[in-house]
Amino acid sequence: MELAGQPPGTGHKVPAREYQRRDRGGDHRGYSVPMNVDVCPCLPPEGPPYRDRGSSSQMEHVMTTTTAHRPSIATRRIGYISGALAGVIGLLLVNVWPGWDSVPFLTSETTEVLGLVNASFVAGIVANVVYLMNDAPWLVALGGVVTTGIGLVALIGIIQVFPVDFSDWDFDGTALVQVLLILAIVGTTIGIVVQLVALVRSLAGAGPDERGQISR
């Protein structure tokens, strides 16, 4: 390895003064004084890992404080109106036209659970109308707990009464309906738990003013 201050290939060190004299006099002979000597190798090199270290705390703060934004008020209102209309249509289909009795595999025992089914539709309609006036996150979560709970009661009533008869059909769909009802009960139960968690988190993160204000 060639040393600074030593002409390449000579094998002996040239005095500093002589080396500088030769360099000033133009006697380079293929060597020159190195200009990019690292005078302090203990310092970290410049680069993104070191320059950005000061702003990493700011980036972490932004990442931890960023939360998912709710849809716009117009989008939410469209959803509430659609939900209320769906409930009204459901009530009409079940009670007016064509009516529950037009379904060939339902028995007269359907009337025993018809009140629970209607209550589920009415609860959804009322909840969506309330959301149009005030859809604070805690209120939406509370409404979800109430409406989903009524739906769960209706499903349990249906599976207990089970007003279904496939005796006049070419295939027996009793087991299929039972499985679908059980899956609906499980999904509804999970939905209630999710809404309860959302309600607790909304109340814990909302101040006194936010709990009663109309969301915009």
- Which of residues 165 and 69 earns the better pLDDT score? 165
* Domain assignment of residue 51, yes or no: no
pLDDT over 70 for what percent of the chain? Answer: 63
- What integer pLDDT is reported at residue 208 of this predicted model? 47
- Residue 164 dihedral angles phi and psi, to the nearest 5°: -130, 135
Flag whether 111 is in a domain: yes
pLDDT (tens digit, 9 = 90+) per residue, 76-109? 999 999 999 999 999 999 999 999 999 999 999 9
Domain annotation covers residue 118: yes
- Asked whether residue 101 is domain-assigned, the answer is yes
Predicted confidence (pLDDT) at residue 180 exceeds the cutoff of 80: yes
Reported as a single tens digit per residue, the pLDDT across 201-211 is 999 875 544 44
Residue 174: is its pLDDT beyond 80?
yes
Distance (Å, whole) CA 153 – CA 116 = 7
What does the pLDDT read at residue 108?
93
Domain count, the chain: 1
The model's pLDDT over 9-57, given as tens digits with 9 standing for 90+, comes to 554 444 544 444 444 544 545 444 444 444 445 455 554 444 444 444 4
- Establish if 88 belongs to a structural domain: yes
Residue 50 placed within a domain: no
Q: Is the pLDDT of residue 168 over 70?
A: yes
Which range marks the domain in which residue 165 is found?
73-212
pLDDT > 80? residue 154: yes
> Does residue 189 sit within a domain?
yes
pTM reported for the whole predicted model: 0.65
**Residue 173 belongs to a domain:** yes
